[in-house]
Amino acid sequence: MTEAVPRLSAQRVSKLYPGVQALDGVDFEVHAGAVNVLIGENGAGKSTLMKIIAGVEQPSTGCLLLDGEEVHFADPAAAARAGVCMVFQELNLFANLSIAENVFIGRERCRLGIDIDRGSEIERTRELLERLDHPLDPRALVSSLTIGQQQIVEIARALAQDARVLILDEPTSALSAAEAETLFAVIAELKARGVAIVYISHRLEELKRIGDYVTVLRDGHLVATAAMADVDVPWIVRQMIGRDAPARADAAPCGASGGDVLAVTDLVLPRERGGFTVDHVSLTVGAGEIVGIYGLLGAGRTELLESIMGCRRDATGSITIAGTEISGCDVSDRMAAGIALVPEDRRRAGFIQSFSVAHNLTIASLGRFARWFNLDMRREAAAARGSIGDLAIKVAGPETMVTTLSGGNQQKVVIGKALLTRPRVLLLDEPTRGVDVGAKTEQYRLIRHLAGEGLGVLFATSELDELTALATRVLVMCEGKITLDLPCDAADHDSITAAANPRAQAA
């Protein structure tokens, strides 16, 4: 311990959402000049805890202490005034404004209270960027920057507010290896200046390098906290998932596929400013096969799936479902041909918030329950009850509103909706994002069961563990291209990571 009193601590913090206990009596602290790494699987409560600390959310119970004094942050601005700043994973920048304007957004430096002092803002921004070893032009538009540079701008914004506690939420998820190195250097520099840093990640390889302490959350509970020097990676994994890392025996059986149900040839999705988001991709999925696409954020996984589904009008290339060409069809016709997509962002694209579970389940297959204009409500309700039973969706009844369900059950509703269209191929984008650990294995079992019945499955993931636990064949995507295609028993972590990394590809 560098100080007796932690810079910031959370005590017995709980957070309750409808249907979900996101945090349950969690203690957490971070000291000046130290990095506390916060880890846990998706849905463990990391982001919720940090949102509470940064004033985005209010705790249901529990309190926050800053330098030993109890504080209440009504909103992120209040937290920022106290020196607690958060850099979100999905960066909160205004692409249409310059770097300097972004750094001072909401706290513009003004003469006489009304006239923005651009000169001084630009000067101060230049200083901050130099301190961060990134001499960018403060007048450049944020839209012209890479993701890594945008992250630096976010950090500069935090520093401009004299951040004493800096929260970084999965900062390297979108960065290339070189950009990540720069970020680590910046973190080291901030530490030396006495900033307390909370670093959220689920990349185990980074943790030992930059962490001074490690705190592990699982299912909304604090399971362990320790000095990094005292622990090793296997210990961390054990704490995270509550047992040893899944052995090979736990993984899916390899091979075992029938004829191709999905064949994609030369799929191209051009990028707005030149280049390709999906760069001449060809792949096949056999009946009963589970193909996993791994890649970093921005590798083009989601765009590939969306192009196959027909959501991207600019995409070109041939796509066949069981031999039928569908590349000229819209989403609706593609679904009729036997393909369905379970999107990554359930809330935005997966379900309809104002609908019940039953109505969400049947919305994609209403034609089956209709005779002429009339919707046969009895058959529709029976189908919904059938899905709820088949997928073991835990609900009070079919009329329950979908928004009150836990992440895992919501995901099952979206999968159930897709299955009611009787697809030959199921596309899943990050199938367990926001699903808690226990429910995760259940999702895997479900997907394997579906593949066992002859469904072709193509899923995208950014988690290596998920890839190895589920896929019978592994594809790796990097900068829009498929860089690796291996059966699961031939794929090891090192070659997968190397194939996913743009720098390693260039070398």
Binding residues for other proteins (CB under 8 A) = 16-21, 309, 311, 330-332, 334-336, 341, 343, 348-355, 359, 363-364, 366-367, 369-370, 373-375, 377, 401, 403-404, 417, 421
Letter for the amino acid at 75?
D
253 vs 367, beta carbon nearer other proteins: 367
Residue-level length of the chain? 507
Write the DSSP symbol of residue 348.
Answer: I
60 vs 144, beta carbon nearer other proteins: 60
211 vs 416, beta carbon nearer other proteins: 416
318 vs 332, beta carbon nearer other proteins: 332
Cα–Cα–Cα angle for 478, 183, 198, nearest 5°? 110
Nearest approach, Cβ of residue 178 and other proteins (Å): 35
Nearest approach, Cβ of residue 335 and other proteins (Å): 4
Burial class (CB in 10 A: 0-12, 13-18, 19+), 1: exposed
Neighbours of 110 (CB within 10 A): 13
254 vs 401, beta carbon nearer other proteins: 401
Token pair for 226: 């320790």
Which 3 state secondary structure label does DSSP give 34? coil
Nearest approach, Cβ of residue 438 and other proteins (Å): 15
235 vs 355, beta carbon nearer other proteins: 355
Nearest approach, Cβ of residue 103 and other proteins (Å): 32
Instruction: Please state, in angstroms and as integers, the Cα–Cα distance from residue 21 to each residue in 17, 234, 351, following that order.
Output: 6, 28, 21
18 vs 135, beta carbon nearer other proteins: 18
CA distance 186 to 210: 11
CA distance 161 to 119: 18
CA distance 197 to 214: 12
Token pair for 331: 């989403």
- Residue listed under structure tokens 């029976």: 382
- Give all strands of the β-sheet with 324-325 in edge-to-edge order: 276-286, 260-270, 316-321, 324-325
287 vs 361, beta carbon nearer other proteins: 361
160 vs 435, beta carbon nearer other proteins: 435
- Residue listed under structure tokens 């056999």: 286
By the 8 A CB rule, do 481 and 299 touch? no
Nearest approach, Cβ of residue 361 and other proteins (Å): 10
Query: Per-residue DSSP letters for 232-246?
Result: -HHHHHHHHHSSSPP
Nearest approach, Cβ of residue 336 and other proteins (Å): 7
Nearest approach, Cβ of residue 460 and other proteins (Å): 15
157 vs 359, beta carbon nearer other proteins: 359
Nearest approach, Cβ of residue 395 and other proteins (Å): 12
Q: Angle between the 118-131 and 147-160 helix axes, to the nearest 10 degrees?
A: 110
Name the residue among 36, 1, 170, 51 with its Cα closest to residue 64.
Answer: 51
177 vs 377, beta carbon nearer other proteins: 377
Nearest approach, Cβ of residue 367 and other proteins (Å): 7
343 vs 407, beta carbon nearer other proteins: 343
SS3 letters for 269-321? Answer: EECCCCCEEEEEEEEEEECCCEEEEECCCCCCHHHHHHHHHCCCCCCEEEEEE
CA distance 126 to 181: 21
By the 8 A CB rule, do 447 and 470 touch? yes
Nearest approach, Cβ of residue 66 and other proteins (Å): 28
Q: Which residues pair with 294 in a beta bridge?
A: 461, 476
Write the DSSP symbol of residue 347.
Answer: I
Nearest approach, Cβ of residue 403 and other proteins (Å): 8
Do the strands 8-17 and 61-66 form a parallel or antiparallel pair, or are they unpaired?
antiparallel
Nearest approach, Cβ of residue 329 and other proteins (Å): 11
